[in-house]
Amino acid sequence: MQRFTLFAFIAALLFLQINLKAEFIVNDLSDLPDEDLTDGIYTPQTLRSAIQNANHEGVPAVIIIVPDRSTIRINSDLPVINVPINFEGKGLILEPASGSIAKFGLWITSNYSVVRNVLIQWFTSTGLVWQGSDGLIEMTTCRYNGVNLNMNHAHRNTIGGQLQGYFSNYFYGATGSTSGQGISLVGTWADSVDGGNNDNIIQYCAIGIDENGVAKPNKYGINISMSKRNIIKHNVISGNDGGGINIDGTYPGTDGLGNFVWLGSQLNTVIKNNSIGTSNIGSEAIPNIDAGIRISGSIGDSIVNNVISGNSGTGIYVASALSKKIIIENNRVGTDRSTKNPVPNSSGIRLNGSEHIVRNNVVSGNKNVGISVSSPYSIIEFNIVGLDSGQKIAVPNGTGISVSGTDILIGDTLPQGFP
C-alpha cells in the first residue's frame, strides 16, 4: 500500500510538471534580453526575454503580446523556442529592425506548440521555422520572407484552422532567389523509416495571393520533397511564379548490378478540394506561371475534387517516368467550378510514368491538349473532355486527347495483362 501511494505521488508530481505552464505577458516592445536568467525575475517584459525565460524554465509556456496589434522589430535572431509554446500574437507584426542582422522570424523545435495571430515579414531566410510535431499554426500570415514557412522533421501538424468565410493563414511573396517557397516540407531520403515531415495537414490557407485576392507570388506555393502522407485541402494555391504544388519523390540508389539510378518514393500525398490557379470560388484565373501541380518521382498520390484551371503551364503534370499510381479523379481542369466557362490552362493533364488512373474529371477549355498520355498501364475512363459536366455546352480544348505509347486504356474494360 505504501509503495502504491509513493508511485501515485510521483506520478502526480510528473503530471503537474508536464502540464505546468509558465505565462509571459510581453508588454515591452523593445528587443532587450533578460541579463540574468538565474534571478527568477522575468524582466524586461520583451519577446526576447520571454523566450529566454521559457527555455530556461523548461516547462510548457504561454506567450501573450499586449497591446493587440503591436509591432516588434528585432535586431538579431531570437532564441530558438525549445519548450512547448502557446504563442498568442494578438495581431503582432514581427519584422527585422532597420540594419538588423536577423534572418529568421520565429524558430520552434518543440512538440505540441501553437502559433496564432501573428504576421511575420521581411526576414531574408525564413519567416517561421517549424521543427516540432503535433502542433497548430492558425490566423498567421508569413509574407515577403526568403521562405515563408519551412518545416523540418515535423509530423502531424495542422497548418490552418477552419474559419467560416475566411482563410486561416496567408503565405505569399516569398523572396528567396533559389528557394522562395510559400510552404516547404523537405524530408530525408536517407532515413530507412519515415524521415522528414510526414502526416501534416495544410488547410484553409491562401498561398500566393494576399488578403485582397491579388497575386503576390512565391516561387512555389507548396514544395514537398521526400515528405509522406501529407494532406492539402480547402486552400487557394494561385499566383505563384513557379508552380502551385511541386512534389518530388526522387532519390539516388543502385540497381541490381550496383549501378547508380534514380528511384521513386511512396509519398501518398492527398490533394483535395483546392482551387489551384484560380480565385477561391474558381471563377477567374490567378495563374501559377508553371504547372498547377507537378509530380516527379512520387508514387501513390491522389488528386481529387479540385478546380485546377487558369495556370500558364499544365494543370496537372506528372513529369517523371518514376512516378506511379497517381489517382486523378473528380477534378475540374480548365474550366470554372460550374464547368460552363473556360478558365484555360496551357494543357490540362499530362502523364508520364505508369499505372495512373484518370477518372470522372471534366477536362475542358484548355488552350492545347486536354489529356496527354504516354504512361503505360494507365486507365483513362469516364472523363468529360471538351464539354461541360452536363455534356450540353461545348467548352473545347485545343486537342481532346493525345496518346503515345502502348498499354494505355481509354474506356472502361480492362484488357488482359493490365496490372
Residue 191 belongs to domain with CATH number: 2.160.20
Can you give the residue range of the structural domain that contains 356?
65-410
What's the start-to-end Cα distance of the chain, in Å? Answer: 64
Q: Give me 192's grid cell.
A: 530507412
CA-CA distances (angstroms) from residue 369 to 9, 216, 294, 313?
Answer: 71, 29, 17, 12
Distance CA 236, CA 337 (A): 13
At 6 the pLDDT is 45
Residue 46 inside a domain? The answer is no
Which residues does 329 contact at the CB level (< 8 Å), separation at least 6?
A: 302, 303, 304, 305, 357, 358, 359, 360, 361
Report the pLDDT value the prediction gives residue 14, as an integer from 0 to 100: 41
Tell me the pLDDT of the chain (419 aa) as tens digits: 344 344 444 444 444 344 558 999 999 999 999 999 999 999 999 999 999 999 999 999 999 999 999 999 999 999 999 999 999 999 999 999 999 999 999 999 999 999 999 999 999 999 999 999 999 999 999 999 999 999 988 999 999 987 766 799 999 999 987 789 999 998 865 443 456 689 999 999 999 999 999 999 999 999 999 999 999 999 999 999 989 999 999 988 888 888 999 999 999 999 999 999 999 998 999 999 999 999 999 999 999 999 999 999 999 999 999 999 999 999 999 999 999 999 999 999 999 999 999 999 999 999 999 999 999 999 999 999 999 999 999 999 999 999 997 888 887 655 555 56
Q: How far apart are CA 189 and CA 317, in angstroms?
A: 23
pLDDT of residue 16: 39
| 347 belongs to a structural domain | yes
- Residue pair 321/352 in contact (Cβ under 8 Å)? The answer is yes
> Measuring CA to CA, how many Å separate 117 from each of 43, 282, 285?
24, 27, 29
Which grid cell sits at 227? 515528405
Cell representation of residue 2? 505504501
Q: Is residue 10 part of a domain?
A: no
Q: What's the Cα-to-Cα distance from 218 to each of 124, 225, 316, rounded to whole Å?
A: 14, 17, 19
128: in domain: yes
- Is residue 250 assigned to a domain? yes
Please tell me whether residue 359 adopts helix, strand or coil conformation.
Answer: strand
Q: Tell me the residue ranges of DSSP E strands in 297-340.
A: 298-299, 302-304, 307-308, 314-318, 327-329, 332-333
Integer Cα distance of 408 and 381 in angstroms: 11
Q: Is residue 102 part of a domain?
A: yes
Task: Examine residue 42 and state whether it is found in any structural domain, yes or no.
Answer: no
User: C-alpha angle 101/104/106, rounded to 5°?
Assistant: 135
Residue with cell 500558364: 312
Cα angle value 349/245/226 (rounded, 5°): 110
Can you list the positions of beta strands (E) in 152-258? 158-159, 169-172, 181-186, 201-203, 205-207, 220-225, 231-233, 236-237, 245-248, 251-254
CA distances from 346 to 257, 275, 351, 364, 367 (A): 41, 17, 15, 11, 5
If one counts the domains in the chain, the total is: 1
Q: Is residue 154 part of a domain?
A: yes
